[in-house]
Amino acid sequence: MPPARYRSPSDMTASLVIRRAMRNLVWMFAHSWGSAVFGLVSFAIMARILGPEPYGVMALASLVFGVVGIFVGPPLTESLQQREEITDTHLDTTFWLNSGLTILFSMVIALLAGPIASLIGAPAVADVLPALSLLMVVGSIEGVPGALLQRRLENEKVVLIETVSEVVSTGTGLVLAIMGFGVWALVLSMAVGTVISAAGIIYVAKWRPGFAVSGEAFRELFGFNRDTILTYLLGYIDDAIPRFLLSIVGGERAVGLLAMAGNVSGMLTELLMGPFNEIAMNVVARLQSSRKTVHDLLDRVFAMTTAAIYPATLGLAMVAPLLIPLLVGEEWVAAILPVQIFLILGIRDATGTFNIAILRGVGDSRSPLLILMIGIVLLGVMAPFLMPYGVSGIAAMIALRTFLTWPLSAWLVQKAAGYSALHQLTVGWRALLSALGMVGAVWWVRSFLPEGLPEVVTIACLVATGMLVYAGLMLVIGARQVREIRNGMSWFRNHHDGVADAV
């Protein structure tokens, strides 16, 4: 009997793909906002209890598992999402290859935990590596089923599972942190989340591995997988260099401060753009034969993301000096400037964060390699000049690298997908100008507020000022963009109204 074939959703009409994408976005935005509020509260509590060191240990441990992540997980399963047609043989081959390599890597890490921790200069990491290795094996089981759900654009099922996983695991972590478990509160919280996620994904995907493994299926997937692995390798190096350099000059505490800064800015970006970014590659892959639809979709998405990201990130950067000590305590004051630096990246993230997903969605797996290689070179060039400035210097190095590679990634998207690079760089200039005006107004109002005001009152005044000024400027400067957003919402709503047809 010939192997079963799984047709790509590209067999659907473009309208049907958009409808499914809209259904996913509704679910994913609901999840993002809910988990953001829940995560912010729980992080504020745990950060006060644990301090920077446990977060630094986990960040350095992630350097170790980042090496494994180059070769297993998404580097092997993304080809199942991008490929037009797959069979049971492709799925089984990927599953057993992914599982076998994960088990092998986990055994090596567990056995060499001590020497590995000494190599990265963090002895405390040796204690958690064996446990995290086991979790890596458990998590690998959901790789292929999860890729199938994303391929089908059934992210709403993943959202439900992630919600349950986050609530239970975070609650577990909070209890353990209060009980004095230290870094193990983070490890055991991750363990609970991993088990729930793996079990849920396997159940809803309705797929079980067989033994239809073949060399031919491996070779058919290898071309895309090879470039994906190289992309993850370069991405790992790009991410590891700053943390490794910082561990040399500042130790685990400094790495924890940098991780916290990245988490704050990343949480905001995830809140506003995460759902778009998560489905970008799959949607573009399904629509790659209809470039006009892709361009129309990006126009509408960028009109919305720039209008939301610019004021949110720049506004949060303005109140960060008051907000961070209030939420997580004075012990984290040194993270304020790095947080502000990372938040400024929102100017680029509003459009540029999609570029690699767009490139991979249209089948261009080589261009991301070029972007990452140039980024790594830039890090190497800037490191001697910025390392002496500690956490803030490393944060500035990451930000400069990101901004300097943005024009290149925009040009590569234009070359591969036909979407204008100049338009990518300037699409939200009205929102940016309005956001900068908002920043000036907030700074001006702050200088007139009495020093004795409670911090909560001061923050509320600044936020209210920012919202009113930004809204007013957008009605004047950004009137055209506001109309584009309204038209875009109507366009999305028209597609979403027929979502039942897509189920």
Q: Using an 8 Å Cβ cutoff, are 417 and 291 in contact?
A: yes
Distance of CA 361 to the CA centre of its chain: 17
Encoded tokens for 489: 């919402």
Classify residue 129 as exposed, middle or buried by CB count within 10 Å of its CB (0-12, 13-18, 19+).
buried
Phi first, then psi, for residue 74 (nearest 5°) are -55, -35
In angstroms, the first-to-last Cα distance of the chain is 29
Picking from 244, 257, 261, the residue whose alpha carbon sits closest to that of residue 376 is: 244
pLDDT tens by residue, the chain, 503 residues? 445 544 444 445 555 555 666 566 566 666 666 666 666 677 777 877 888 788 888 888 887 887 888 888 777 787 777 666 778 888 888 899 989 999 999 999 999 999 988 887 778 889 999 999 999 999 889 888 988 887 777 767 887 888 888 889 888 988 998 888 888 999 999 999 999 999 999 998 888 888 888 888 778 777 677 777 888 788 888 888 888 888 887 877 888 888 888 877 777 776 666 656 665 655 666 666 667 777 777 887 888 888 888 999 999 999 999 988 888 778 888 889 999 999 998 888 878 777 877 887 777 778 888 898 999 999 999 999 999 898 999 999 999 999 999 999 999 988 888 888 888 888 889 999 999 999 999 999 998 888 888 889 999 999 999 999 999 999 998 888 888 888 766 766 665 444 333 33
CB 425 within 8 A of CB 302: no
Rounded-to-integer distance, Cα 306 and Cα 350, Å:
5
- Residue 329 DSSP symbol: -
Q: How many domains does the chain have?
A: 1
Domain coverage including residue 284: 5-502
The answer to whether residues 373 and 401 touch, using CB atoms and an 8 Å cutoff, is no
Q: pTM higher than 0.75, yes or no?
A: no
